[in-house]
Amino acid sequence: MSESLLFVPLRVGALELSHRVVMAPLTRMRAGQPGNIPVALNATYYGQRATPGGLIIAEATQISPEGQGYPATPGIYSPEQVFGWQLVTDAVHQKGGLIFLQLWHVGRISHSSLQPGGKLPVAPSAIQPAGEAYTAAWQTVPFETPRALETNEIPALIDDYRRAAVNARAAGFDGVEVHSANGYLLDQFLQDRTNHRTDGYGGSTPNRTRLLLEVVDAVTEVWGADRVGVRLSPYGTFSDMGDSDPVALFTHVISKLSARRIAYLHLIEPRSSASGMSDEVNQQAVDAGSLFRGAFDGPVIGAGGFSRETAETTLRAGKADAVAFGRLFISNPDLPERFRLDAPLTPYNRATFYGGTEEGYTDYPFAAARA
């Protein structure tokens, strides 16, 4: 059998990866309270999943108090949060691993109980999402109608991303990923179902792309382009998303990101449009690599419903350069080693994904067999 491409080294921006099994960003809702601060338990979790030269993309992390959409998700805007994340990056680096922080603003996918002063969440347009929001008390209620951001508020929003990038450097990360997927704020600006603006951030495809590119430029000023990635979810339906011409939109977005020479593009597969909230996978959906790989001149990380076998097939077809795994990494902290040994995988328990403590978080076993 030919050598597995999963274990061929890969250059990603400023980083040299020893393998191509990436840990995807995974919301777990276990930040310390009060203050949404990473704690020792979080450091243990990430340290367990670190491998020499392996890339971890840490969970979505709000850039400001207004960016929060779920209880007990971590932030990167306070000194205490920076210190907490230092525990995490130290644990990963002690194992020889690499770790990026995913910068997050949820936009309308929030609830007023999570917002400073009980204000409404913000969005590109005042359009209520379908479905239910989490409250600060961990209850689920119908989403509220958000408040549309004023044009003159957008520079301050971009500054929040810039400060978050500065704080991520102080916390010891190796780079940052801009979260523009899964129906959160930057994705809401991109897609015309959620962006009905009539100013310079709405209407045409270039206008709807403008905020994402301004955020990427601001973050790049802090990190350099070779330590910045971007995550997109073309065809994603999570959080009531959609666009009238997704191929044209995302081809435009990706070509603009390619011109900026960012470290990598992280694409969620159309077959996994539910964003991990269910195990259903639409195997008939066209793959993201076929649609968009040609628009990006740099490393592409694929994500969404991959197995070891389908990851290998995707790499051999040139549709991605690395593959991010989420749920399998939850229940298999040594996932790259299990793939290397073709060892059995531990099934995950979805009931323990969100909230809680050690159970379903740091208590999954490592494989007994070792090379």
Active site residues: 184
Cβ burial of 1 (10 Å; 0-12, 13-18, 19+) is exposed
Check whether the bond before 333 is cis (ω within 30° of 0): no
Residues 138, 144, 150: CA angle, nearest 5 degrees: 120
Nearest to 102 by CA among 283, 271, 231, 248: 231
Tell me if residue 60 falls in helix, strand or coil. Answer: strand
């009060």: which residue's tokens? 34
């109980």: which residue's tokens? 113
Side-chain-facing half-sphere of 189: CA atoms under 13 Å = 27
Tell me if residue 156 falls in helix, strand or coil. Answer: helix
C-alpha torsion angle, residues 200, 201, 206, 212 (rounded to 10): 140
Cβ burial of 99 (10 Å; 0-12, 13-18, 19+) is buried
Question: Pairing between strand 15-17 and 10-12?
Answer: antiparallel
